[in-house]
Amino acid sequence: MTAPEQGSTYFRKGFGLKGEVEETLAADYDGSLVDLLRSRDHTLTVGGVTVRLAREFGFCYGVERAVEYAYQTRRKFPDRRIRLVGEIIHNPHVNRRLGEMGIEILTPGQDADGKPVFDYTDVSPNDVVILPAFGVTIRDFETLRGLGCVVVDTTCGSVLNVWKRVESYARDGFTALIHGKHYHEETRATASQVGRYPGGHYLVVRDMSEARLVCAYIEGSGTREEFMTRFARATSPGFDPDLHLRRIGVANQTTMLARESLAIGEEVGRAVARRYGDEYRAESFRTFDTICSATQDRQDAVQELLRESLDAMVVIGGYNSSNTISLAALCAERVPTYHIEDATSIEAETRRITFRPAGVKHSEASAVDWIPEGSGVRIGLTAGASTPNNKIGETVARIFATRGIDVRVVDAA
């Protein structure tokens, strides 16, 4: 079943209220310091410190669209109860702002297998339910449509493109091997698309090390029990590696590290060829680059910035933002990198920064005097696709404040 066209209870194209919410959106998320950086070739130098902003950063089109549609929904239905299926994007400030507007964020529980599941028993036909930019599973979508409530679908177009690819794999009898995080909202929604066809299956691999385990099994190494234990939460119901790794189509969560997604596709393809031959690979293996253009643009811009001489790199975005995590991983390969959620992580008076080290989950670290003394200091800056400009500007101000430079002086520099 494909998504219905825009109609009386299903909306994918907003409500024609963009002009009515633009001023509010600008007030909530625009940043004057970011505008100043843009006007000065993404460079601002004051008091011996230079901040270099990557040329692609922050809100992407899909995020802007999702947030705008949420604002339009509140304007369209001022007196209706509005629910949001999880976070609309992975930015705590944006989600908090929606909560302040009276949009209730539904949080998932867990089923018997430990997988996230939403409870819609309290949703009535009179409610309005917003689907996030990541999309929702087929089961969630069909449940909400069956309830008869108004559904506002903000699923990103890049995500929909991956869904079409995965659906085509299932239709043609290929298992979808998805490079992503099995617990991530987008990957769960993407994986569910195999359910559109009887016998559809998926397997999610987190990184190259897991992909190599899959390759080894394809080539005859390891036991079925070991494999299923390792990927217990990352496979479709009824998945059998002895049957379902014979025809494979590779896809990915749109916000993963692009080069790793491409490398995983190549690695799995070579394993298939080694086991069954090149002719079999040509018939029974498919791979496509399904990284979204905004994710790719931000990664490319960071790579370009890293060619310069930098003393440190600050990456701004939610700790649960996959595309921000990918940016931080790229930066950490070349320069001391500090992934922060917002400017409050920088304490100007104590010269301390609290951050999430690249590759570390669920814990923070801190550093003092992270900005070197002396003149000629160069700090690189970028932000994930769910980070608004005002939070980027606040971070720029804190960076300068750490060297005793007042934000008002920076703004007038």
| CATH classification at residue 68 | 3.40.50.11270
Output the pLDDT for position 382: 98
23-27, 163-167, 289-293, 368-372: range with lowest mean pLDDT: 289-293
Break the chain down into helix, strand, coil percent, rounded to 5: 45, 20, 40
- Cα–Cα distance measured from residue 370 to residue 331, given in angstroms and rounded to the nearest whole number: 16
* Mean pLDDT, rounded, for 353-371: 93
Band (260; pLDDT cuts 50, 70, 90): very high
* Mean pLDDT, rounded, for 397-404: 94
**Which of 101, 134, 155 is the last residue in one of the domains?**
155
Look up the CATH number of the domain holding residue 361: 3.40.1010.20
Band (1; pLDDT cuts 50, 70, 90): very low
Distance from chain centroid for Cα 236:
22
Band (15; pLDDT cuts 50, 70, 90): very high
Q: 6 in a domain, yes or no?
A: no
**Which of 291, 314, 343 is the last residue in one of the domains?**
291
Please determine, for residue 2, whether its predicted confidence score (pLDDT) is greater than 70.
no
- Cα–Cα distance measured from residue 191 to residue 139, given in angstroms and rounded to the nearest whole number: 12
- DSSP-derived letter for residue 112 is T
Residues 157-207: tens digit of each pLDDT: 999 999 999 999 999 999 999 999 999 999 999 999 999 999 999 999 999
Q: Which of 56, 87, 186, 341 is catalytic?
A: 186
Residues 95-124: tens digit of each pLDDT: 999 999 999 999 998 877 777 899 999 999
- 261 lies in the same domain as 147: no
The mean predicted confidence, pLDDT, of the chain is 94
- 128 lies in the same domain as 249: no
- 163 lies in the same domain as 283: yes
- 192 lies in the same domain as 283: yes
- 245 lies in the same domain as 341: no
- 402 lies in the same domain as 317: yes
- 169 lies in the same domain as 281: yes
**Which of 97, 130, 155 is the last residue in one of the domains?**
155
Q: 22 in a domain, yes or no?
A: no
Band (152; pLDDT cuts 50, 70, 90): very high
Which residue would you say has higher pLDDT here, 301 or 2? Answer: 301
Using alpha carbons only, give the angle 163, 166, 167 rounded to the nearest 5 degrees.
80
122, two tokens: 């309290």
The length of the chain in residues reads 413
Which residue would you say has higher pLDDT here, 110 or 372? Answer: 372
* Mean pLDDT, rounded, for 229-244: 96
Q: What is the CA radius of gyration of the chain?
A: 23
- 48 lies in the same domain as 77: no
Q: 183 in a domain, yes or no?
A: yes
Q: How many CB atoms lie within 10 A of CB 266?
A: 12
Tell me if residue 21 falls in helix, strand or coil: helix
- 354 lies in the same domain as 241: no
Which residues are CB-contacts of 208 (< 8 A; sequence separation ≥ 6)?
Answer: 260, 263, 264, 267
Domain span holding position 193 = 158-291
Respond yes or no: is residue 185 known to be catalytic.
Answer: no
Domain count, the chain: 3
